[in-house]
Amino acid sequence: MSEHELHTLESRIEELVRLCEQLAHENQTLLGRHSDWASERAQLIEKNELAKSKVEAMISRLKSLEQDG
């Protein structure tokens, strides 16, 4: 293998290493975002359930007022 071929191969390997490092960093970022979104989704589901319970309670109170009146 010639000196030039070795240098070319070394350059390509270095480029691949940099690309792997970049992809690993991007992957970590995406995993963090995924985790944040999953947490936000869980909070929104919880808030939605709470709102649903409150609305159902109001409807029940209105029905009972309707029956009393």
b/e map 12-31, b = 16+ CB within 10 Å: eeeeeeeeeeeeeeeeeeee
Q: Which of 35, 61, 19, 15 is nearest to 69 (CA)?
A: 61
**Total structural domains in the chain?**
1
Q: Which domain holds residue 68?
A: 1-69
Higher pLDDT among residues 69 and 56, named by residue = 56
Q: What is the pLDDT of residues 10-65, one digit of tens each?
A: 999 999 999 999 999 999 999 999 999 999 999 999 999 999 999 999 999 999 99
C-alpha to C-alpha distance for 7 and 4, rounded to whole angstroms: 5
Res 44: pLDDT: 98
Answer left, alpha or beta for residue 2, where phi above 0 means left and psi between -120 and 50 means alpha. Answer: beta
